[in-house]
Protein backbone atom coordinates (compact mmCIF):
# COMPACT_ATOMS: atom_id res chain seq x y z
CA UNK A 1 0.00 0.00 0.00
CA UNK A 2 1.75 3.15 -1.14
CA UNK A 3 -0.05 5.26 1.47
CA UNK A 4 2.08 3.54 4.12
CA UNK A 5 5.10 5.75 4.56
CA UNK A 6 7.15 4.01 7.18
CA UNK A 7 7.05 1.10 9.55
CA UNK A 8 8.86 1.52 12.84
CA UNK A 9 10.34 -1.34 14.80
CA UNK A 10 11.19 -4.85 13.69
CA UNK A 11 11.27 -6.46 17.09
CA UNK A 12 10.55 -5.80 20.72
CA UNK A 13 14.30 -5.56 21.34
CA UNK A 14 14.71 -2.98 18.57
CA UNK A 15 11.82 -0.99 20.01
CA UNK A 16 13.42 -1.01 23.46
CA UNK A 17 16.84 0.03 22.08
CA UNK A 18 15.50 3.09 20.24
CA UNK A 19 16.58 6.17 22.20
CA UNK A 20 13.86 8.40 23.60
CA UNK A 21 14.56 11.56 21.59
CA UNK A 22 12.42 14.08 23.36
CA UNK A 23 9.58 12.30 25.07
CA UNK A 24 11.27 12.01 28.43
CA UNK A 25 11.47 15.78 28.76
CA UNK A 26 7.86 16.67 27.94
CA UNK A 27 4.80 17.25 30.09
CA UNK A 28 1.95 15.10 28.83
CA UNK A 29 -1.72 15.84 29.34
CA UNK A 30 -4.27 13.08 28.82
CA UNK A 31 -7.84 14.19 28.13
CA UNK A 32 -9.85 11.09 28.95
CA UNK A 33 -9.01 8.46 31.54
CA UNK A 34 -10.44 5.29 30.00
CA UNK A 35 -9.03 2.10 28.50
CA UNK A 36 -6.86 3.77 25.88
CA UNK A 37 -5.50 6.36 28.30
CA UNK A 38 -4.49 3.62 30.74
CA UNK A 39 -2.90 1.52 27.98
CA UNK A 40 -0.74 4.52 27.02
CA UNK A 41 0.16 5.25 30.64
CA UNK A 42 1.11 1.60 31.16
CA UNK A 43 3.31 1.65 28.06
CA UNK A 44 5.04 4.89 29.01
CA UNK A 45 5.45 4.41 32.75
CA UNK A 46 5.97 0.63 32.64
CA UNK A 47 8.87 1.00 30.18
CA UNK A 48 10.36 3.98 32.00
CA UNK A 49 9.93 6.19 28.91
CA UNK A 50 8.22 8.93 30.90
CA UNK A 51 8.18 9.61 34.62
CA UNK A 52 4.63 9.38 35.98
CA UNK A 53 4.97 12.85 37.52
CA UNK A 54 5.14 14.26 33.97
CA UNK A 55 1.72 12.82 33.13
CA UNK A 56 -1.45 14.72 34.04
CA UNK A 57 -4.72 12.83 33.46
CA UNK A 58 -8.08 14.55 33.12
CA UNK A 59 -11.64 13.30 32.95
CA UNK A 60 -15.07 14.82 33.39
CA UNK A 61 -16.87 12.86 36.09
CA UNK A 62 -15.43 9.58 37.34
CA UNK A 63 -13.23 10.46 40.34
CA UNK A 64 -12.70 6.80 41.33
CA UNK A 65 -11.16 6.16 37.92
CA UNK A 66 -8.65 9.00 38.42
CA UNK A 67 -7.82 7.67 41.88
CA UNK A 68 -7.19 4.23 40.38
CA UNK A 69 -4.77 5.68 37.80
CA UNK A 70 -3.03 7.77 40.45
CA UNK A 71 -2.50 4.89 42.86
CA UNK A 72 -1.64 2.29 40.22
CA UNK A 73 0.73 4.33 38.06
CA UNK A 74 1.71 7.37 40.15
CA UNK A 75 0.39 9.85 37.57
CA UNK A 76 -1.13 13.19 38.56
CA UNK A 77 -4.85 13.74 37.94
CA UNK A 78 -7.26 16.64 37.60
CA UNK A 79 -10.85 17.39 36.67
CA UNK A 80 -9.93 20.99 35.83
CA UNK A 81 -9.18 21.63 32.16
CA UNK A 82 -7.21 24.75 33.19
CA UNK A 83 -4.55 22.49 34.75
CA UNK A 84 -3.83 21.07 31.29
CA UNK A 85 -2.24 24.39 30.30
CA UNK A 86 1.04 22.90 31.53
CA UNK A 87 0.97 20.14 28.89
CA UNK A 88 3.33 20.40 25.93
CA UNK A 89 1.70 17.38 24.35
CA UNK A 90 -2.01 16.66 24.78
CA UNK A 91 -3.61 13.32 23.99
CA UNK A 92 -7.32 13.36 23.25
CA UNK A 93 -8.66 9.96 24.35
CA UNK A 94 -12.42 10.40 24.73
CA UNK A 95 -15.22 8.62 22.86
CA UNK A 96 -16.09 10.18 19.47
CA UNK A 97 -19.43 11.43 20.82
CA UNK A 98 -17.65 13.34 23.63
CA UNK A 99 -14.88 14.85 21.50
CA UNK A 100 -16.64 18.11 20.54
CA UNK A 101 -17.41 18.90 24.18
CA UNK A 102 -13.91 18.00 25.36
CA UNK A 103 -12.28 20.17 22.66
CA UNK A 104 -14.56 23.12 23.47
CA UNK A 105 -13.60 22.82 27.16
CA UNK A 106 -9.93 22.50 26.27
CA UNK A 107 -9.89 25.43 23.85
CA UNK A 108 -8.96 28.26 26.28
CA UNK A 109 -6.37 26.16 28.10
CA UNK A 110 -4.05 24.92 25.35
CA UNK A 111 -0.63 26.48 25.79
CA UNK A 112 1.17 28.09 22.86
CA UNK A 113 3.46 25.63 21.12
CA UNK A 114 1.55 22.57 22.34
CA UNK A 115 0.85 19.60 20.06
CA UNK A 116 -2.20 17.36 20.18
CA UNK A 117 -2.44 13.66 19.42
CA UNK A 118 -5.99 12.40 18.93
CA UNK A 119 -6.96 8.73 19.17
CA UNK A 120 -10.63 9.53 18.57
CA UNK A 121 -11.83 7.19 15.84
CA UNK A 122 -13.13 9.02 12.78
CA UNK A 123 -12.38 12.57 13.91
CA UNK A 124 -10.41 14.32 11.16
CA UNK A 125 -7.47 16.56 12.08
CA UNK A 126 -9.18 19.51 10.34
CA UNK A 127 -12.25 19.00 12.57
CA UNK A 128 -10.00 19.03 15.65
CA UNK A 129 -8.42 22.30 14.47
CA UNK A 130 -11.82 23.83 13.71
CA UNK A 131 -13.21 22.89 17.13
CA UNK A 132 -10.12 24.15 18.94
CA UNK A 133 -10.11 27.34 16.87
CA UNK A 134 -6.32 27.35 17.27
CA UNK A 135 -3.45 26.60 14.93
CA UNK A 136 -1.52 23.74 16.44
CA UNK A 137 0.06 20.54 15.17
CA UNK A 138 -2.38 17.64 15.35
CA UNK A 139 -1.45 13.99 14.81
CA UNK A 140 -4.19 11.40 14.47
CA UNK A 141 -3.57 7.91 15.79
CA UNK A 142 -5.58 4.78 15.12
CA UNK A 143 -4.53 2.16 17.66
CA UNK A 144 -6.33 -1.16 18.26
CA UNK A 145 -7.42 -3.08 21.34
CA UNK A 146 -4.29 -5.28 21.77
CA UNK A 147 -2.62 -2.00 22.79
CA UNK A 148 -3.99 -2.92 26.21
CA UNK A 149 -1.54 -5.84 26.37
CA UNK A 150 1.34 -3.97 24.72
CA UNK A 151 0.82 -5.56 21.29
CA UNK A 152 -1.24 -2.95 19.52
CA UNK A 153 -1.01 -1.94 15.87
CA UNK A 154 -1.17 1.85 15.57
CA UNK A 155 -1.23 3.98 12.43
CA UNK A 156 -0.30 7.65 12.72
CA UNK A 157 -1.24 10.45 10.33
CA UNK A 158 0.05 14.00 10.51
CA UNK A 159 -2.43 16.85 10.20
CA UNK A 160 -1.76 19.96 8.12
CA UNK A 161 0.37 21.67 10.77
CA UNK A 162 2.19 18.65 12.17
CA UNK A 163 5.74 17.86 11.15
CA UNK A 164 8.46 15.33 11.85
CA UNK A 165 8.86 16.51 15.48
CA UNK A 166 5.24 15.78 16.36
CA UNK A 167 5.25 12.49 14.45
CA UNK A 168 8.40 11.45 16.32
CA UNK A 169 6.73 12.24 19.64
CA UNK A 170 3.60 10.32 18.67
CA UNK A 171 5.73 7.37 17.55
CA UNK A 172 7.34 7.27 20.96
CA UNK A 173 3.97 7.48 22.71
CA UNK A 174 2.56 4.51 20.81
CA UNK A 175 5.76 2.45 20.60
CA UNK A 176 5.08 1.71 24.28
CA UNK A 177 1.88 -0.17 23.37
CA UNK A 178 2.95 -2.03 20.23
CA UNK A 179 3.97 -1.40 16.63
CA UNK A 180 3.60 1.88 14.79
CA UNK A 181 3.21 2.74 11.10
CA UNK A 182 2.71 6.11 9.44
CA UNK A 183 0.13 6.73 6.73
CA UNK A 184 -1.53 9.67 5.00
CA UNK A 185 -4.68 10.72 6.83
CA UNK A 186 -6.83 9.54 3.91
CA UNK A 187 -5.67 5.96 4.57
CA UNK A 188 -6.92 5.88 8.17
CA UNK A 189 -10.36 4.53 7.20
CA UNK A 190 -8.65 1.53 5.60
CA UNK A 191 -6.48 1.18 8.72
CA UNK A 192 -9.67 1.09 10.78
CA UNK A 193 -11.09 -1.59 8.47
CA UNK A 194 -7.93 -3.71 8.68
CA UNK A 195 -6.19 -3.40 12.06
CA UNK A 196 -8.76 -1.36 14.00
CA UNK A 197 -11.48 -3.95 13.50
CA UNK A 198 -9.01 -6.77 12.81
CA UNK A 199 -8.73 -8.18 16.34
CA UNK A 200 -12.43 -9.10 16.15
CA UNK A 201 -11.86 -10.95 12.86
CA UNK A 202 -9.09 -12.95 14.54
CA UNK A 203 -11.31 -13.67 17.55
CA UNK A 204 -13.95 -15.01 15.14
CA UNK A 205 -11.29 -17.15 13.46
CA UNK A 206 -10.33 -18.49 16.89
CA UNK A 207 -13.94 -19.26 17.80
CA UNK A 208 -14.42 -21.12 14.52
CA UNK A 209 -11.16 -23.07 14.86
CA UNK A 210 -12.02 -24.12 18.42
CA UNK A 211 -15.56 -25.20 17.45
CA UNK A 212 -14.17 -27.13 14.49
CA UNK A 213 -11.64 -28.90 16.71
CA UNK A 214 -14.38 -29.84 19.19
CA UNK A 215 -16.49 -31.23 16.30
CA UNK A 216 -13.55 -33.47 15.41
CA UNK A 217 -13.55 -34.88 18.96
CA UNK A 218 -11.09 -32.66 20.87
CA UNK A 219 -11.88 -31.39 24.36
CA UNK A 220 -12.74 -27.69 24.42
CA UNK A 221 -9.72 -26.70 26.56
CA UNK A 222 -7.36 -28.64 24.30
CA UNK A 223 -8.86 -27.15 21.13
CA UNK A 224 -8.63 -23.65 22.63
CA UNK A 225 -4.99 -24.02 23.60
CA UNK A 226 -4.06 -25.41 20.19
CA UNK A 227 -6.01 -22.78 18.25
CA UNK A 228 -4.58 -19.87 20.28
CA UNK A 229 -1.01 -21.07 20.01
CA UNK A 230 -1.41 -21.77 16.28
CA UNK A 231 -2.56 -18.21 15.52
CA UNK A 232 0.08 -16.74 17.84
CA UNK A 233 2.86 -18.98 16.49
CA UNK A 234 1.97 -18.42 12.84
CA UNK A 235 1.98 -14.62 13.35
CA UNK A 236 5.31 -14.83 15.20
CA UNK A 237 6.82 -17.00 12.48
CA UNK A 238 5.64 -14.63 9.73
CA UNK A 239 7.01 -11.66 11.71
CA UNK A 240 10.41 -13.27 12.42
CA UNK A 241 10.98 -14.80 9.00
CA UNK A 242 9.81 -11.62 7.28
CA UNK A 243 8.82 -13.57 4.19
CA UNK A 244 5.67 -13.21 2.12
CA UNK A 245 2.86 -15.16 3.87
CA UNK A 246 2.06 -16.88 0.55
CA UNK A 247 5.60 -18.28 0.52
CA UNK A 248 5.27 -19.54 4.10
CA UNK A 249 1.94 -21.15 3.26
CA UNK A 250 3.45 -22.96 0.26
CA UNK A 251 6.32 -24.14 2.43
CA UNK A 252 3.99 -25.95 4.86
CA UNK A 253 1.79 -27.41 2.10
CA UNK A 254 2.86 -30.71 0.55
CA UNK A 255 1.05 -32.14 -2.49
CA UNK A 256 -1.78 -34.54 -1.50
CA UNK A 257 -1.14 -33.76 2.18
CA UNK A 258 -3.51 -32.68 4.93
CA UNK A 259 -2.89 -28.93 4.70
CA UNK A 260 -3.65 -28.77 1.01
CA UNK A 261 -6.97 -30.52 1.69
CA UNK A 262 -7.81 -27.99 4.41
CA UNK A 263 -6.78 -25.01 2.28
CA UNK A 264 -8.93 -26.23 -0.61
CA UNK A 265 -11.95 -26.21 1.69
CA UNK A 266 -11.13 -22.64 2.76
CA UNK A 267 -10.81 -21.46 -0.85
CA UNK A 268 -14.09 -23.20 -1.81
CA UNK A 269 -15.77 -21.57 1.17
CA UNK A 270 -14.73 -18.12 -0.02
CA UNK A 271 -12.33 -17.39 2.87
CA UNK A 272 -10.34 -14.75 0.99
CA UNK A 273 -13.41 -13.05 -0.45
CA UNK A 274 -15.03 -12.97 2.99
CA UNK A 275 -11.99 -11.21 4.48
CA UNK A 276 -11.83 -8.81 1.56
CA UNK A 277 -15.50 -7.96 2.10
CA UNK A 278 -14.98 -7.58 5.86
CA UNK A 279 -12.14 -5.09 5.47
CA UNK A 280 -14.03 -3.32 2.66
CA UNK A 281 -17.25 -2.91 4.62
CA UNK A 282 -15.51 -1.87 7.82
CA UNK A 283 -13.51 0.72 5.83
CA UNK A 284 -16.71 2.09 4.29
CA UNK A 285 -18.37 2.24 7.71
CA UNK A 286 -15.35 4.09 9.16
CA UNK A 287 -15.70 6.61 6.33
CA UNK A 288 -19.41 7.09 7.08
CA UNK A 289 -18.80 7.51 10.82
CA UNK A 290 -15.96 9.94 10.10
CA UNK A 291 -18.32 12.13 8.09
CA UNK A 292 -20.72 12.06 11.04
CA UNK A 293 -18.14 13.33 13.55
CA UNK A 294 -16.15 15.72 11.40
**Does 193 engage in binding with ligand NAP (CB under 6 A)?**
no
- How far apart CA 211 and CA 39 sit, in angstroms, is 31
CB of 247 to ligand NAP, least distance (A): 31
Residue 69 vs 210, nearer CB to ligand NAP: 69
Residue 99 vs 162, nearer CB to ligand NAP: 99
Please state, in angstroms and as integers, the Cα–Cα distance from residue 141 to each residue in 53, 200, 264, 271, following that order: 24, 19, 38, 30
**Does 101 engage in binding with ligand NAP (CB under 6 A)?**
yes
Residue 54 vs 81, nearer CB to ligand NAP: 81
**Does 95 engage in binding with ligand NAP (CB under 6 A)?**
yes
Residue 78 makes CB contacts below 8 A (sequence gap 6+) with 56, 57, 58, 66, 84
**Does 195 engage in binding with ligand NAP (CB under 6 A)?**
no
Element at 76 (helix H, strand E): strand 76-78
- In the stretch 117-156, what mask flags binding to ligand NAP with x, by CB under 6 A? --xxx---------------------xxx-x---------
DSSP-assigned letter for residue 84: G
- How far apart CA 150 and CA 169 sit, in angstroms, is 18
Q: Report the residue from 44, 90, 102, 127 that binds ligand NAP according to the rule CB under 6 A.
A: 102
User: What is the size of the binding site for ligand NAP (CB under 6 A)?
Assistant: 28
| Contact (Cβ atoms closer than 8 angstroms) between residue 115 and residue 90 | yes
| Contact (Cβ atoms closer than 8 angstroms) between residue 159 and residue 139 | yes
**Does 75 engage in binding with ligand NAP (CB under 6 A)?**
no
- Which residues are 117's β-sheet partners? 91, 139
Contact segment (CB under 6 A) with ligand NAP among 43-51, 57-65, 173-181, 242-250 equals 57-65
Q: Report the residue from 1, 61, 216, 255 that binds ligand NAP according to the rule CB under 6 A.
A: 61
Beta strands in 93-208 (DSSP E): 115-118, 138-142, 152-158, 178-183
Which residues of the chain form contacts with ligand NAP (CB under 6 A)?
31-37, 58-62, 65, 93-96, 98, 101-102, 105, 119-121, 143-145, 147
Amino acid sequence: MDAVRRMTGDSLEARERRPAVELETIRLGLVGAGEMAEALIAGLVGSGRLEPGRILVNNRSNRARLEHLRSRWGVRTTQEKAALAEAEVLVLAVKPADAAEALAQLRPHVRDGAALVSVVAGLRTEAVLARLGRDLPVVRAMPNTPSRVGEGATALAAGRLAGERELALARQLFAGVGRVVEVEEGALDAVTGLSGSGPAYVFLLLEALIDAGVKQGLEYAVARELALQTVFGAAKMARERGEDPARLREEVTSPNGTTVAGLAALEQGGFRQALEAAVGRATARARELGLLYS
